[in-house]
Structures are given as C-alpha cells and as structure tokens.
Amino acid sequence: MEDQEKTIIKIADVAEFEYQTEQFFKQVVPHFQGSNRENILNYLIAELGDNIKQHSQSKKAVLDFSPRNQELADLIISDGGIGIGSSFRKAGLDVNDQEAIKLALRGRSTKKEGNRGWGLRTVAAIVLKLKASLEISSGNARAIVEANKPIFMKVPNRKGTTISLVLPKKIEIPDKIFYDILEGEK
C-alpha cells in the first residue's frame, strides 16, 4: 500500500528515450486501475515523449508521476527545449506562443507530412473523455484544457514545454471508444 503512494521521477536522456519512457510507463501502470489503462497510459507517455524527441531539441526530459490523493494522480512531462511557439516560428508560421499552442491543440503540425498533428489533439481528447485535465505551458503561454474550450493565459516566460496531466487513478475508457478517439483524430 505504501508503495502506491510513491512519486516516480525520471530525468531521461533523449539519446535513450524509448527505453527510459518504457521503464517509466511500467512503473506508472500499477498505480492505475481500469482494463484499458495500459493502452491509454502508453499513448499519453509515448506521444508526449515522441514530441520531445521530434520537436524540442532538448537532450533531457523530466518524467514525473505523483499520486495526489486516493482518486487522482499527476503526470508531468517536461523538457527544456525550444518550446512550441519557437517550433512553429522555425517552421515559418508567424504566431506567438499562445497562438502556437492553440494551433497545436487544433491539430496543426510542423511536420512536413500534411496529415500529421494528431498528437496533442488526441491527448486532449483522451483527457476530456476521462474528465481529467491537461495544462500545456510553453514560452510565455499556458493553456488549460478541461471540459469546454481551452483557457489561455500569459505567464512569465520559461524555457521549454511542460505538459501536466491530472488523471483519475481509475481510467475507464472502453477499448472501442478509445480506438474511436484515435481514429477520430486521423
């Protein structure tokens, strides 16, 4: 029981990121309940990890899991890289940090292939389905995604990107609905 309350923090080296995120995922899973928890947690951790690898230009990332109380747990994945705004600006888009997060949540990608950009949008869709919450902080912008529309605010500028999820420990999305969410975002 005591073990259940432990915080897990990993400072992952992007050079061996797949291994490190996999280890983190394996440590986090037992803290959750729900028949489809592995698929859901794997999607969230792998996608946010992929984003750091593909877009942040950071060599390190922090993976942080902390149980909050009996019902909720915090999952925070952050990097000290260029940030979402700079990633969009480097791709030639004339946007500020807030506009960049807004576009990312709507499915806009800086990848060359035109049909990408499901990652953050799908993460947000999963979070809404779980009635959980998601905060994206990057540069001087922060977005809070909970029911309804995301709320945006200006915050003191910080390097990199931090994605904070507050998740119920009981993750209940049936397989069929989970795959519909993934499909729906394609």
Among Mg ion, ligand ATP, none, what binds residue 125 when CB lies within 5 to 8 Å by partner kind? none
Burial class (CB in 10 A: 0-12, 13-18, 19+), 145: buried
CA dist list (Å): 92 to 17, 82, 96: 28, 15, 12
Task: Kindly state whether residue 139 participates in binding ligand ATP, applying the rule CB under 6 A.
Answer: no
Confirm or reject binding of residue 97 to ligand ATP (CB under 6 A): no
| Structure tokens given for 27 | 């440590």
x/- binding map, residues 33-52, to Mg ion, per CB under 5 A?
A: ------------------x-
Structure tokens at 17: 């990121």
Q: Site residues for Mg ion, window 76-105 (CB under 5 A)?
A: none
Distance of alpha carbon 108 from alpha carbon 118, whole angstroms: 8
Q: Pick the binder of ligand ATP from 49, 80, 117, 139 (CB under 6 A).
A: 117
Under a CB-based contact definition with an 8 Å cutoff, are residues 10 and 63 in contact? yes
The residue (of 119 and 160) whose beta carbon lies closer to Mg ion is: 119
Q: Does 122 bind Mg ion (CB under 5 A)?
A: no
* Residues near ligand ATP, by CB under 6 A: 51-52, 54-56, 79, 81-84, 87-88, 104, 109-111, 116-121, 161
